[in-house]
Amino acid sequence: MIEMRGVTIRYGDTVAVDDVHLTLPTGKIYGLLGRNGSGKTSLLSALASYRRPNRGTVLVDGVEAFENPRVMRGTVFVRDTLDLNDSDRVRTALEVAGWLRPTWDAEYALKLLDIFELDSRKRVSALSRGQRSVVGVVLGLAARAPLTILDESYLGMDAVARTLFYRELLADYLSHPRTVILSTHLIEEVADLFERVVIIDRGRILLHDETDALRGRGVTVTGPADRVTAFAAGHTVLGEQSLGGVRALTLDGRLEPGEIARGEQAGLTFGPLGLQDLFVHLTSQRLEASR
Amino acid sequence: MSVVMSLLRLWRPMILWFAVILVAIEVAAVAAISTAGPVRFSFWLVVAGASAVYWPLVAGILLVSMFFRLFMANGVTRHEFLRGIALFALGVTIVFPAVVVVGHAVESVVLGLADHRAESYPVFRFGEAAAEYFHLLPATAGFVTSGILITAAFYRFRPWIGVLLIAPGSVPALIGNGLIQIDDSGELIARLPYAVALTLTAVAVVLGWAATHRLLRDVAVKRSAT
C-alpha cells in the first residue's frame, strides 16, 4: 500500500501540492491526469523520494519512503528529461542500472532496445527526442521495480513507438505484476491501460476511482446532430464533438434502459464515458467560464 | 554493487587515459629537456604535483554534478551516495600523493642512471618519501573536499547563492594547500608547525564534509546537473 498523508509541496509562495491524502493499493496500473502545472510531477517526485514534502509523509507498506534504501531501491521514476549525462552512451546507462538495481533485467532491456530499434552505442546527446523517450521507457520497464513511475516519459515517441510501448508495458505488467503510475496528456490513447485514475488539479486530488466506475458515470451519445441535441435536452453535457452532420455528446450520469432503447430507435448509438471528456469537464471551470 | 565500486568502474577509462597522457607528457618533456643538458628540476613534481591538487578539485566537482542524479535515479539514497563519494574522495586523497611520490622516485632514478641530473635537481631519497607524501596529502584532501562542497552548494541553491558560497567552500583547499605544500624544486613547506597545520587542514576538511552532508542529505533531485 502506498499512502500520502497530508503531503504539501511549496516552491516559495507557490503551492504545487496542497495537503494531499491519497491511498494507492499496490499491483495496479494508475493513470495520473492533470493539466500543465497541476502538480503531477511534484506529487510523483514526493512519491519517488526525489523531493521531501514541506509537510506530510509518504509511506510505502507502512514505512516512510524518504531515504529508505529498500523503498528507493524498489522505485523507478522516469521523467521526461532523462536523469542521465549527455556524454554517456546508452549502453553505459543500462550498465549502471544493472550494477545498482537488484531487480534489473539486462536481457529484457536489450530486447526492448531491439524492439524500439535503438543503437546502444549512441551517446545520449546524439539521441532524438523520441529516442530519449525510448531510453526512459527501457530504464523504467527493465528495472522491474515494484513501484514504476513514468512521468510523461513516452510523449516524445511517435505513434508506432507508443503503440509498441503500450503493448510491452501491458505484457510485462502481466508477467511481472507491480504498481505502475503513468502520468500523461494522451488520455484516450492510454486510457485502456489504466485500472485506476487519479485526477489532480491545482495541487489537490479531484478524483480517485476505478476506471470502469468512472466510465460508468456517464455515456457518449453519437448520431445525427439534431437528434443527439434533442436527446441530450435535460442532461448535463460533459463534452461534445462534431464532424459534418454527426455529433457526439458526453452526458453526465447513467441513462435509464428505456431512454437508451428510445435513442437507439431514433438511430443513436451509445458508448461509455470518455475519460478525456470527464477530465476536461472536471478541470476546465475556467474554460467553461470563458465561453 | 556499491556506490564507490560503481564510481570506480565509471571512472576507470577516464583515470587510465589521464595516466597515459600524464606519463606520455612526462617522458616526452623530460626527453626534450635532457637534450639541452642535465635536468635542473623535477618535471614530474611540476606536472603531477599540480595534478594531485587540481584533478581532485575537478573530480570533486564531477562527483556531484555528473553522478548525483544518475545514482538517485537508480535507487540509491542520498546518504548512500554521500558515503560512496566520501570513500571515493578518501581513495583519491590516499592514491594521488602516492602516485606523485612514486613518479618522482622513478624520474629521479632514471635520470640518475642516465647521469642527467643537474646539481639543483631534487633527488629522491627513500628516507624522505613519507615526508614528501604527507606534504602532498593535505592539499589533495582539501581540493577534493572543496570541489564537492562548492558543487553541492550550486546544486542546492540558486546560482547567485552558489557564487557567494564559493569563498567559504574554498576554505579546505586554501588551508590544505596554503599551510603545507611541496614546491617545484621539491622543497617541503609547512607555514606552521606541521602538526598544527595538519590539524587545521583536517578540521577544515571535516567541516567541509559536514557542510556537504547538510547540503545534500535532503536536497531535491533537480532536472539539471547543477
pLDDT digits (tens, 9 = 90+) for B93-122: 999 999 999 999 998 888 888 888 888 888
| B18 domain-assigned | yes
The three-class DSSP label of residue A223 is: strand
| B102 domain-assigned | yes
Q: Looking at the 3D structure of chain B, how many domains does it have?
A: 1
Which of B48, B29, B8 lies closest to B133, judged by CA? B48
B58: cell is: 575537478
If asked whether residues A171 and A61 sit together in one domain, one would say yes
| A83 domain-assigned | yes
Using the beta-carbon criterion (under 8 Å), do B220 and A68 form an inter-chain contact?
Answer: no
| B206 domain-assigned | yes
If asked whether residues A177 and A251 sit together in one domain, one would say no
If asked whether residues A163 and A252 sit together in one domain, one would say no
Tell me the HSE value of A198 on the side-chain side, using a 13 A CA sphere.
24
Instruction: Give the pLDDT band of residue A194 (cuts 50, 70, 90).
Output: confident
CA A94/CA A90 separation, integer angstroms:
6
| B224 domain-assigned | no
Alpha carbon of B167: minimum distance to chain A alpha carbons (Å)? 26
Alpha carbon of A254: minimum distance to chain B alpha carbons (Å)? 44
CA A227/CA B72 separation, integer angstroms:
57
Residue A286: pLDDT above 60?
no
Q: Looking at the 3D structure of chain A, how many domains does it have?
A: 2
Alpha carbon of A80: minimum distance to chain B alpha carbons (Å)? 9
| A280 domain-assigned | no
If asked whether residues A162 and A244 sit together in one domain, one would say no
Which of B146, B144, B125, B121 lies closest to B46, judged by CA? B121
Residues in B closer than 8 angstroms to A143, CB to CB, are 75
Average pLDDT, chain A: 88
How many other CB atoms are there within 10 angstroms of residue A209's CB atom?
A: 14
CA A239/CA A274 separation, integer angstroms:
9
| B221 domain-assigned | no
Residue A51 has its nearest CB partner, among B71, B77, B220, at: B220
Confidence at residue A290, expressed as pLDDT on a 0 to 100 scale:
46
Using the beta-carbon criterion (under 8 Å), do A100 and B76 form an inter-chain contact?
Answer: yes
Provide the domain limits for residue B193.
Answer: 3-216
Alpha carbon of A84: minimum distance to chain B alpha carbons (Å)? 6
Which of A162, A100, A99 lies closest to A136, judged by CA? A162
Residues in A closer than 8 angstroms to B79, CB to CB, are 67
Summarised one tens digit per residue, pLDDT across range A126-139 is 999 899 999 999 99
If asked whether residues A121 and A79 sit together in one domain, one would say yes
Provide the domain limits for residue A200.
Answer: 2-213
If asked whether residues A190 and A68 sit together in one domain, one would say yes
Using the beta-carbon criterion (under 8 Å), do A100 and B74 form an inter-chain contact?
Answer: yes
Contact assessment for residue A265 and residue A225, using Cβ atoms and an 8 Å cutoff: no
If asked whether residues A66 and A199 sit together in one domain, one would say yes
- Spacing of C-alpha A257 from chain mean position: 33
| B223 domain-assigned | no
H or E element: which one contains A196? strand A196-201
If asked whether residues A171 and A248 sit together in one domain, one would say no
If asked whether residues A63 and A102 sit together in one domain, one would say yes
Residues in A closer than 8 angstroms to B217, CB to CB, are 67
Instruction: Give the pLDDT band of residue B225 (cuts 50, 70, 90).
Output: low
Confidence at residue B226, expressed as pLDDT on a 0 to 100 scale:
61
Tell me the HSE value of A274 on the side-chain side, using a 13 A CA sphere.
20
